[in-house]
Amino acid sequence: MNLTFDKKLAENYKSQSQKVRVLTEAWVDNSIFCPNCGELDMDKYPNNQPVADFYCSNCKEEYELKSKQNKTGIKIVDGAYRTMLERLNSSNNPNFFLLNYDLSNFEVTNFFVVPKHFFVPEIIEKRKPLASSARRAGWIGCNILLDSIPQSGKIFYVQNGEVKPKEKIIAEWKKTLFLREEKEISAKGWLLDVMRSIEKLGKKYFTLEDSYAFEDELSKLHPDNKHIKDKIRQQLQILRDRGYLDFVNRGEYQLL
């Protein structure tokens, strides 16, 4: 995979934002395969498509591209807040491609995909309405809170300049597809919260008591639930049944 942009493609553009858009979109179009089916030929939608930027002609997965110079940070600026929340419950909510670039070298530094099944209302931050003096006065945008997404929901093609194997990318994608089967957003939110808690432990093997360390944190996220430990055990059971982790011994677990 060539991480360098084709600078010639942007020679006729004066605006920096236009140059970046042309360079990043061309790079994705020519370099990235579909993580769902492995198809090499990703197709680009016409500009200003309201929902997505790319789609796979083989499996019909759709992807919206977000690009940012240097590091991605903890949040990504997105479009209208209301539209985003509506999309979470719709069938046309796309997956997200996130690209970091270094314009001093005209190359990609990081590129990863966030599968759409990791998007729940809790990771969408409402921004302040635009001022009355703005052209779109009162318009409310949103941010995507990347630090609220489990690491398993950030599947890297390129990480700090290192290209990841295609087989690993597709395997990581398939590992969490079970989340698409959960249609109730609140139930999916619980699974994601427990997945993120397990990741914070920083170890492949952990115990039930280890997971209970997040009881207070989960209680704040789900104040209506008065039986947090019971809920944690339930979510671990679901994650085991879905092949995300395994029971080693009584009260002992292993991330797969």
Q: What are phi and psi of 248, to 5 degrees?
A: -95, -55
- pTM over 0.85, yes/no: yes
Domain range summary for the chain, segments of one domain joined by +: 1-174, 182-256
pLDDT digit string (tens) for 55-76? 999 999 999 999 999 787 889 9
Residue 47 has pLDDT above 80, yes or no: no
Question: According to the 3-state scheme, what is the secondary structure of 88-103?
Answer: HCCCCCCEEEEEEEEC
Q: Is the pLDDT reported for residue 52 higher than 80?
A: yes
Query: Which string of b and e fits 109-126 if b means at least 16 CB within 10 Å?
Result: bbbbbbbbbbbbeebbee
CATH of range 1-174; options 3.40.640.10, 3.40.210.30, 3.30.470.10, 3.40.50.1000: 3.40.210.30
CATH number of the domain located at residue range(s) 182-256 in this protein: 1.10.10.10
Sheet holding 245-249, edge to edge: 205-207, 252-255, 245-249
